[in-house]
Amino acid sequence: MNVREATAADEQTLLELSEALFDENWTRPWPRPHVTRALWQDKLVLIAEQEGEPVGYAFGELRPGENVHVNVVYVVPERRRRGAASALLGEFASRAREQGIEHMSLDVATGNHDGREAWRRLGFTEWALRLTVPLERLEQPRENGDSYGSLHVQTDDPDAVAAAVAKYLPRLGGSGGRVEPPRNGWVAVYAQLIDRDRRGRDRLASELSNATAAVVCSLAVEDGAVVRYVLFERGSVVDEYQSVPEHFGELPPGDVVALGANPTVVSRLTGADPARLRAVARTAASANELPPADELLRQVAEVMGLEGAGRG
C-alpha cells in the first residue's frame, strides 16, 4: 500500500472519489454539496494506491498546537479491510507528529455503523456529539414544559441498586440520587440527572441493568408534552417508546415506527397485558392528540406495574 500527497494531476481522481463517497454516505438533512476542488482546497490531501491504482483518499487540516482534523477518509468498497484507511491515517499522524501535534479527530455520521466500528478498532473514542435542527423549528417559539423521570430496576435488592447508583451517577455528571425500597418487584431511582438529561438517564439505566443483571425501565415526561420509556436488558435497549416520535425533529419513517411500543417485548419483561399496553401507549403526530403527558405516563406505568413513576 502506497500513500502519497495528491497533486494537481489527481484532480479528476479526487472528484470521482468524492462523488462515490457522497453517493454512498450522504445522510445529512441538507442537500449534498456539488463536488468541486473547493472541498479539499487549502487542506492536506493524501491518496492511497495499490499497484499504482488509486483505492482511497483522505483530506484534513494540520493545526499546530492543537490537533489534526481529518475531514474525509474514503476507500472504494472493493478495496476495504486491506489497510488503506489505516495507511492514510498513519501518514496523517506522521506528518502531524513532525509539527508537534499529538491528537487526531474526525467526524462520522451516527448512522454509519461500519465506519464507527472501524474507527473504534483504530482507537478513536467519542468526545462530542454534533446536533442538527431545522432553522424553522428555532424560529417558532414554543413554551417547553417540565421534564422529569425515574428509573425502575426489576429487583428486590435495593442495596445492590444503591451501590450501582453511587458508582455510576457521579461518572455521568450527576449527584445525590434517591433509591426507594422495592414496590411490586421494582426498585425506583430518582435524581436530577434523570430529570434533566435524556442521554444521561439512558446511560445510567444501561449501567444499572449491566451491574444488577436486571431489567431496567427508564420512564419520563419530556418538555411537558412527550412520554418516553426505554427498556434495558443486560445493558442493551430492547424496546423504546416515544408518544410523539417527531417531537424533537423529523425522522426517517422506519425510526418513527421503531418508537412505537412493542407489547410482546414489554409483556415478556414486565408482565404487562399486551392489549392494555397497546391501547395506552399510542403514538401521534402531536401531543394534542393524546392525553396530557402526566396522565399518559401514569397510565403507561400502571400497565407495566411501575409504582412511583415520574416524580416519585
Instruction: Delimit the domains of the chain by residue range.
Output: 2-121, 143-304
- Specify the CATH class of 2-121 in words: alpha beta
The H-or-E segment that residue 62 falls in is strand 53-62
Burial of 158 (0-12, 13-18, 19+ CB in 10 A): middle
Query: In whole numbers, what is the pLDDT of the chain averaged over residues?
Result: 92
pLDDT of 33-86, one tens digit each? 899 999 999 999 999 999 899 999 999 999 998 999 999 999 999 999 899 999
Among candidate residues 68, 82, 77, 69, the one with its CA nearest the CA of residue 25: 77
Tell me if 272 sits within 8 A of 304, measured CB to CB.
Answer: yes
Question: What pLDDT score was predicted for residue 127?
Answer: 86
Q: Is residue 4 pLDDT above 80, yes or no?
A: yes
**For residue 18, which amino acid is it?**
S
Distance from the first to the final alpha carbon of the chain: 61
Interval 263-284 mean pLDDT:
96
pLDDT of 157-198, one tens digit each? 999 999 999 999 999 999 889 999 999 999 999 999 999 899
Q: How confident is the model at residue 250 (pLDDT cuts 50, 70, 90)?
A: confident
Q: Is residue 30 pLDDT above 90, yes or no?
A: no
Question: What pLDDT score was predicted for residue 42?
Answer: 93
Question: What pLDDT score was predicted for residue 144?
Answer: 59
Q: Is residue 146 pLDDT above 90, yes or no?
A: no
Residue 256: all three cell numbers together = 418513527
Angle at 249 between CA 115 and CA 232, to 5 degrees: 60
* CA atoms within 13 Å, Cβ hemisphere of 43: 20
Q: How confident is the model at residue 312 (pLDDT cuts 50, 70, 90)?
A: low
